[in-house]
């Protein structure tokens, strides 16, 4: 589970360009009988799925230790949800306000202890530095996403 944010015009463009490729790959995988061939096609499906949800169209923030909002002392439910209309849309004005929240709030990197409390897994050779890099990158992705919506003068659909 997580927060899913979409820019409708960008999502429609991505779907128009990539959905038929994705659908065809799924059919090919389902028809394939060889495990190796299925695996190769599955890798292509995952790439096609990325094409269906490009960063300029879609932003996701999981509700777990990887959630970027808690590292800037914000909450999807407390801070962002009240800015959305009854259909879950964040207006361009709301996007600007959200962007000001992010840019005006210190980005505090969590300690290893805090990450473990939040359920972070350090067993896969992921270091504290890796986690911090994840949060910096995710914050920048969110900033870029909001700026793109503002440039398009388009509201964002928020599934929180």
User: How far apart are alpha carbons 119 and 110 in whole angstroms?
Assistant: 12
- CA–CA distance, 65 with 70 (Å, rounded to integer): 9
pTM of the model as a whole: 0.84
Residue extents of the structural domains in the chain: 2-159
pLDDT (tens digit per residue) in 136-159: 999 999 999 999 999 999 999 999
d(CA 78, CA 67): 14
DSSP 71: G
153: left (phi over 0), alpha (psi -120 to 50) or beta: left
Give the residues across from 60 on adjacent strands: 4
Whose tokens are 């879609």? That residue is 58
Beta bridge partners of 2: 62
Report pLDDT digits (tens) over 26-61. 999 999 999 999 899 998 889 888 888 888 899 999
Residue 61's φ and ψ, nearest 5 degrees, are: -130, 110
pLDDT of residue 123: 77
């Amino acid at each position: 589970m997580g927060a899913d944010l979409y820019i409708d015009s960008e999502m429609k463009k991505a779907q128009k360009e990539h959905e038929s490729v994705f659908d065809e790959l799924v059919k090919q995988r389902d028809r394939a009988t060889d495990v190796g061939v299925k695996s190769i096609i599955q890798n292509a499906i995952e790439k096609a799925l990325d094409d269906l949800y490009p960063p300029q169209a879609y932003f996701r923030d999981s509700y777990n230790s990887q959630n970027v909002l808690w590292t800037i002392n914000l909450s999807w439910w407390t801070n962002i949800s009240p800015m959305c209309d009854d259909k879950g849309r964040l207006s361009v004005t709301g996007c600007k306000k959200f962007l000001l929240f992010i840019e005006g709030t210190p980005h505090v990197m969590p300690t290893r202890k805090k990450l473990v409390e939040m359920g972070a897994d350090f067993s896969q050779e992921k270091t504290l530095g890796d986690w911090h890099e994840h949060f910096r990158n995710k914050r920048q992705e969110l900033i870029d996403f909001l700026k793109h919506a503002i440039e398009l003068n388009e509201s964002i659909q928020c599934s929180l």
